Amino acid sequence: MAYNSPTVAVAVVILNWNGRRWLEQFLPSVLQNSPEAEVVVADNASSDDSVAFLREHFPQVRLLPLAENYGFCEGYNQALRQVEATYYVLLNSDVEVTPGWLSPLVDLLEQNPQIAACQPKIKSFHHRTHFEYAGAAGGFLDAYGFPFCRGRLFDTLEEDRGQYDDVRPVFWATGACLFIRAQAFWEAGGLEPKFFAHMEEIDLCWRLQNLGYQIYYQGHSTVYHVGGGTLPKANPQKTYLNFRNGAALLYRNLAEEEVNKVLNARLVLDGVAAAQYFLKGEWKEVKAIYRAHRHFFADKPFWQQKRKEGPVKKRTSQLTGWSPQSVVWQYFVKGKKEFSALDVPDGTALPA
């Protein structure tokens, strides 16, 4: 079914919080390059003039003012309940889209009903020859739950040399530009509000895989992402969310025979990270990791209930895009800085 079919309804939904400058800079590209889609901006109770700005300058955009700042996860859940579409595109406000960006994403999911979600190629807005941190060319998960991407290992970003101009299954698709079936989104339960922000898309994609769906990277579509538009990269709150949510991600989704072993190893590695921050005198980061672990254990009954609500599967036999090795060891000890240097089980790529 072609993208221009009237039966295919696409809604590009941008969640905004005090991001008037990003809307002013990037919303025109979304409107210009997404003529067949409905463009929606959901505002997370911004205290700047975002809402007034949108009403004055972009009356063609559907505006959904939310009553409070629900965070990324529940903010999107609240907004998407008010949007009727075949496909949602969860798009960060600091993303520049390109002509024709939507068609390859729509076509991919139209051709394969088992694909629940996908992402385009994510490149850096400020360094346009290179991939961007949040998603790059598709997301993976290592043996201890550390996320990494084709095109990005930790802080090392690869130059785009055409090495990822393909279409292939991955473990997770980035929340910076997440293209997803509306039916599958709600079947999986939407985004987990407890995460608030960070790693929530990995949790969602993991749950989708547990339901039997696939997650894909579509390298024939490209967008450019600024990154750090809401929380800067070096921020104790971001550290807290990443470490807390990283532990919760594993505890919620791992099969019973895996969960304790993997989670305990991950918590030890988190302790190593805290020790490194301590030696550098970065006390706020140390405190953030301690607080993250404390809150994870306090919330354990909540995550136990979540485990009971959804199916879990062993990664080794049934999930795509996981690595049996430690990317931390490969990167920091063995010096492997590019995805191609890793021994990652390959999914079945489609013809380029």
**pTM of the predicted structure, to 2 decimals:** 0.93
Q: If you search the block for the tokens 């559907």, which residue do you land on?
A: 62
pLDDT tens-place string over residues 200-231? 999 999 999 999 999 999 999 999 999 864 44
pLDDT higher than 80, residue 349? no
Q: Which segment of 60-64, 241-245, 292-296, 340-344 scores lowest on mean pLDDT? A: 340-344
Q: Considering Cα of 217, then 218, then 222, then 223, what sign does the dihedral take?
A: negative
Buried b (16+ CB within 10 A) or exposed e, 290-328: eebbeebeebeeebeebbeeeebbebeeebbbbbeebbb
Give me the pLDDT at residue 228, please.
Answer: 61
Amino acid type, 215: I
pLDDT bin (cut points 50, 70, 90) of residue 350 is very low
Q: Considering Cα of 128, then 46, then 73, then 270, what sign does the dihedral take?
A: positive
Enclosing H/E stretch for 291: helix 283-298
Alpha-carbon distance of 345 to 330, in angstroms, equals 15
pLDDT tens-place string over residues 306-334? 998 887 877 765 789 988 889 999 999 99
pLDDT tens-place string over residues 1-37? 344 444 569 999 999 999 999 999 999 999 999 999 9
pLDDT higher than 80, residue 47? yes
Give me the pLDDT at residue 8, please.
Answer: 67
Q: Give the percent of the chain with pLDDT over 90.
A: 86
